[in-house]
Amino acid sequence: MEAWDQDFVNMEVPGHFTFRKDGTGHFQFGLVQGEMDCRLEDMGGKAQIEFSWEGQEVLVCVLFLQRPSTS
């Protein structure tokens, strides 16, 4: 998660990915959270986790007002 700073990753809860033995999982970082369906794949002799997910991202809207300059 190098694309985001640690303050964003841990914004709501400590950022995490949880993989369960039954092939499901959960993640949350920033305001993005979801449930996963996970698969362990062999990619040229190296283990790789592939997953599909369903979840949500909370969008925060901020309105900036700028007053006209009088100078």
Can you give the pTM of this predicted structure?
Answer: 0.67
Dist. CA 20–CA 14, nearest whole Å: 18
pLDDT of residue 61: 47
pLDDT of residue 10: 94
SS3 (DSSP) at 46: strand
How do the domains of the chain map onto residue ranges? 6-57
Dist. CA 24–CA 31, nearest whole Å: 20
pLDDT of residue 9: 92
The phi and psi torsions of 7 (rounded to 5 degrees) equal -60, -40
SS3 (DSSP) at 2: coil
pLDDT of residue 40: 87
Dist. CA 15–CA 2, nearest whole Å: 12
Print pLDDT tens along the chain (71 aa): 577 889 989 999 999 999 999 999 999 998 889 999 998 888 899 989 888 888 877 665 444 554 555 55
Q: What's the DSSP call for residue 53?
A: E
